[in-house]
Amino acid sequence: MKTVMVLFLVAVLVALASAGVFMMRRGNDKAADSNRSKHMARALAVRVGLSVALFLLILLSWAMGWVQPTGLPTGR
For residue range 14-26, list pLDDT tens digits in order. Answer: 999 988 888 887 6
With contact defined as beta carbons under 8 Å apart, do 5 and 54 qualify? Answer: yes
For residue range 31-65, list pLDDT tens digits in order. Answer: 667 777 888 888 899 999 999 999 999 999 999 99
What's the pLDDT at 76?
A: 59
CA distances from residue 68 to 9, 13, 50, 58, 63 in whole angstroms, order as listed: 18, 24, 22, 10, 9
Candidate ranges 4-13, 33-42, 67-76; pick with highest mean pLDDT: 4-13
Nearest Cα neighbor of 1 from 71, 12, 9 is 9
